[in-house]
Chains A and B, each alone.
Chain A
Amino acid sequence: MPADVPADVPERADAALGVGVVVSDRYELDVNGTMREVDGAWLGETLLFVLRERLGLSGAKNACEQGECGSCSVLLDGVVVCACLVLAVDAVGSRIETVEGLTASGEVADIQRAFVESGAVQCGFCTPGFVVAVHDVLRRRPAAGDLEVREALSGNLCRCTGYGRILEAVRRVQQWRASGARE
């Protein structure tokens, strides 16, 4: 990822355009309910880069940088997206939720516990992205069936598990939640 700043950036254009204007090297992002300042960034930095390299949130993983693998999945204004395909500065004014913010206390969420108990974690690289995607689908569709879950997770690649244990982990969370077990 290029980190140098192009020398020929235009001067700050007419601020009297009547539009929201952000300058790409200094802005604030709403991450997991906290305003985080970003200072000295280049315009082309993605949300994934800023989360990991500037804000110290390394849960979202950097793999393909082209939206193929889902390992950088985050929620942007409540919908799951690839953080590698969001310009960080374009997320100013949006609500960003990462895997680190799944529980208010920062403790392990039931989804993460189910992944561990089901053996759905092997190398672990894809796991945070899967956890965010599972969180997203179960929040929208708590009783989602197998096909719906597979569709919801179709943007997340795992090279280790063969997916069977990930699907088992999802069913485990659904059972826990249906039986009223506390998160």
Chain B
Amino acid sequence: MRGALVAQPGTVDEAVAALAATPGAQLLAGGTDFCVEVNFGMRRPPAVVALRRVAELRRIEMTPSQAVIGACTTYADMGGEPLATAFPGLAAAARTVGSPQIRNAGTLGGNVATASPAGDTLPLLVALDARMRLRGPTGERTVSLSELVTGVKRTGIAPDEVLVDVVIDRRPGPQEFLKVGTRNAMVIAIASVAVVVDVESREVRVGLGSVAPVPLRARDAEAHAREAIDWDALSVGEAGAARFGELVASACAPITDHRSTAEYRRHAVQVIARRALERCVRRAC
């Protein structure tokens, strides 16, 4: 028998068991990163546990206080309701991923587990302090995104663990996600930003992508925006918005690579951060 094993579990527990029982097996979700690595000879899986048929991983559960999003929820699923209303920034980010073909296949869990600095959902997840629920042979654990993603395409997910779902708290108020690339479709972000304006707690949360090895918060910019916004009118002045952009730019640690220079990334993130904040407060007026 020369063929390798491919397990098609129907539940998360079966997936965990199949992973434990199959030496070297790799988890396969939507395949949009996995298969590229296989096609280009960078990955040669000895065995695969395919999650396509695990129905409990493809769900969006809304409660009054949070959303629980299964790891195999596709970008296409996330782009529409109920997330479009409850988490407009996440839905917007999902709609900017790749193409219709990619959004039909790629998953939220895959975006997290691949942990590319350019992962489009990550800025919003880090801004919202998203929690990742992981299940392994010895049970479950929950960690934040910033704890889980340790470097460029590196995470603390153990080889025998399955990412089950992502939990995010609802924040009443506007959200925006913006990214810069060479065109609108099929673009990997050169810089990206998620801004969450919580009108109840009167705080601003900012997540950044493609401008550091891992998704970042821009804490100084958040503190500044909290003071700069007129919360009763829900507006921000010209100078306050400009300063916000500068503080976001100073929070990032970009590199120069084949997609962009570090200087351009720092400039771009300043422009789109300011634009995102202005869209949030203008939209809320």
* A57 touches B (CB below 8 Å): no
Residue pairs across A and B with Cβ atoms less than 8 A apart, 24 shown, are A6-B4, A9-B47, A10-B4, A17-B18, A20-B8, A20-B53, A21-B5, A24-B4, A25-B3, A44-B38, A44-B43, A67-B32, A70-B99, A70-B101, A79-B104, A82-B32, A85-B101, A87-B38, A90-B6, A90-B8, A93-B53, A155-B100, A155-B185, A155-B186
A10 touches B48 (CB 8 A): no
The size class of the interface chain B forms with chain A is 35 or more
A10 touches B31 (CB 8 A): no
Residues on the B chain within 8 Å of A70, using CB: 99, 101
* B148 touches A (CB below 8 Å): no
Name the CB-closest residue of B to A65.
B39
Name the CB-closest residue of A to B15.
A19
Within 8 A of B (CB), among A33-88: 41, 43-44, 46, 65-68, 70, 73, 79-82, 84-87
Select A18's contact among B3, B4, B14, B50, beta carbons within 8 Å.
B14
By DSSP majority rule, is chain A's interface helix, strand, loop, or mixed?
Answer: loop
Which B residues have a C-beta under 8 Å from some C-beta of A?
Answer: 1-10, 14-15, 17-18, 21-25, 28, 30-32, 34-36, 38-41, 43-48, 50, 52-53, 76, 98-102, 104-105, 184-186
Given contacts A19-B10, A93-B8, A155-B99, 12 further A-B contacts (CB under 8 A): A9-B3, A10-B5, A12-B3, A13-B47, A20-B8, A20-B9, A85-B31, A85-B36, A87-B6, A90-B48, A154-B186, A155-B101
Q: Convert A137-173 into 0s and 1s, putting 1 for each residue whose CB lies closer than 8 angstroms to a CB of B.
A: 0000000000000011011100000000000000000
Name the CB-closest residue of A to B105.
A81
Select B35's contact among A9, A84, A94, beta carbons within 8 Å.
A84
A46 touches B7 (CB 8 A): no
A19 touches B48 (CB 8 A): no
In the bound complex, CA of A83 to CA of B149 (Å)? 29
Name the CB-closest residue of A to B184.
A154
In the bound complex, CA of A65 to CA of B6 (Å)? 22
Residues on the A chain within 8 Å of B25, using CB: 13
Residues on the B chain within 8 Å of A67, using CB: 32, 35-36, 98-99, 101-102
A43 touches B48 (CB 8 A): yes
Which A residues have a C-beta under 8 Å from some C-beta of B?
Answer: 1-2, 5-6, 8-14, 17-26, 41, 43-44, 46, 65-68, 70, 73, 79-82, 84-87, 89-90, 92-94, 133, 136, 151-152, 154-156
- Whether A26 contacts B101 in the complex (CB less than 8 A), given A65-B40, A87-B38, comes out as no
Residues on the A chain within 8 Å of B38, using CB: 44, 46, 87
Most chain B CB inside 10 Å of its own CB: which residue of A67, A84, A92: A67
Name the CB-closest residue of A to B47.
A10
Residues on the A chain within 8 Å of B39, using CB: 1, 46, 65-66, 84
- Whether A10 contacts B46 in the complex (CB less than 8 A), given A65-B39, A86-B31, comes out as yes
Residues on the B chain within 8 Å of A5, using CB: 2
Name the CB-closest residue of A to B3.
A25
B101 touches A73 (CB 8 A): yes
A154 touches B99 (CB 8 A): yes
In the bound complex, CA of A21 to CA of B25 (Å)? 13
Residues on the A chain within 8 Å of B6, using CB: 21-24, 43, 87, 89-90, 92
